[in-house]
Chain A
Amino acid sequence: MEELDGNGAAGRLREVFALELTTARGQCTHCGNVGALGEARVFMDAPGLVVRCRSCESVLLVLVRGDDRYWLGAQGMTWLELR
């Protein structure tokens, strides 16, 4: 499976978010690491987009695109700072 980083997910995330997500900092719920989403590990070939923590590899965020809706899961992030 092809691994990218948060930069590679930016276009897909822009379909849902109005603010820049690659520069947004977030905290991993599992290990507490704080980093920019642009640096996170991203897997695009899964059924949706999967963003994982660069430190501990836990899932931070999942975005699945259906025919007429998106599903967003963000259980792996304690907080996300958007500017």
Chain B
Amino acid sequence: MAGAAVLGRLAPLKWRVASLAELVDETPHARTLVLDVEGWEGHRAGQHVDVRLTAEDGYQAERSYSIASGPDDGKLELTVELIEDGEVSPYLVDELHHGDTFELRGPIGGWFAWDPAEGGPLLLVGGGSGVVPLRSMLRARPADVPARLIYSARTLEDVIYRDELEALGDDVVLTLTREQRDGIRSGRVDADLLREAGFAPAQEPRIFVCGPTPFVEAVASELVELGHPPERVKTERFGPTGR
């Protein structure tokens, strides 16, 4: 990249045309968009993109979506949860058809990102659709890096990537907050669960927490109270309503 020698100068972000190659229903409210993006040069696990929709009258709406695919997956994937009164997600989830196009720019964000070279262990804590960037990290993880995902969903039906996560066995601990199911934990992610299922502070895990703001605040402070240094607890919040 020309000019890269000047500190960590980033290339200008350009809006690119994305076209829908495939749709995957994840839950009754969330779909994964598999995209072909003109000139896409790859991403780091945990990064996001901005999506821009333009109405016929020129009105534009922008939202950020985490990248769901792993860095080596080939196609870019976004998993979008439907926000009923949203401006962007109803279109992406319900109205987009194969071959339709929209604009996006990215990859964006160097804070909530993980590279395999940074090593592990990797402790990932997700609430609801906060699991999306964490799935990208799990896909990026080499077999020799221990990882644990603690994932809180409302009901079993709301669990995104269910088959993929079940195949990871003990690396994934699921808890349901609004439903009781045999063989599955119920209740919120609290200190006991983090102590039992997370890595001990002495193991120096790299920690990523993503979800609605109250979930992230609660989990991050529990982790710090358990003795994890705040600088190793990286967080991403997406507001009370999701995005």
User: Contact residues of A with B, CB < 8 Å?
Assistant: 2-8, 10-11, 14-15, 18-20, 22-23, 36-39, 82-83
Contacts and interface: CB of A to CB of B under 8 A. Distances in A.
B225 to A, nearest CB: 17
Given A7-B236, A8-B64, A11-B13, A19 B8 contact: yes
Contacts of B64: 4, 7-8, 11
Given A2-B239, A2-B243, A19-B10, 5 more contacts: A4-B238, A7-B111, A8-B64, A11-B13, A11-B64
A15 B13 contact: yes
A6 B10 contact: no
B101 interface: no
Interface of B: 7-10, 12-13, 48-50, 62, 64, 105-106, 108-112, 213, 234-241, 243
Contacts of A5: 213, 235-237
B130 to A, nearest CB: 12
A23 B46 CA distance: 14
Contact of B111 (A2, A11, A22, A82): A22
Among B49, B62, B108, B240, which residue has the most Cβ atoms of chain A within 10 A?
A: B108
Given A14-B108, A22-B110, A23-B110, A83 B8 contact: yes
B124 to A, nearest CB: 16
A16 B239 CA distance: 24
Which 9 residue pairs are nearest across A and B when measured between Cβ atoms? A38-B111, A22-B111, A11-B50, A20-B110, A2-B239, A5-B237, A10-B109, A10-B108, A14-B13
Contact of B237 (A3, A10, A23, A83): A3
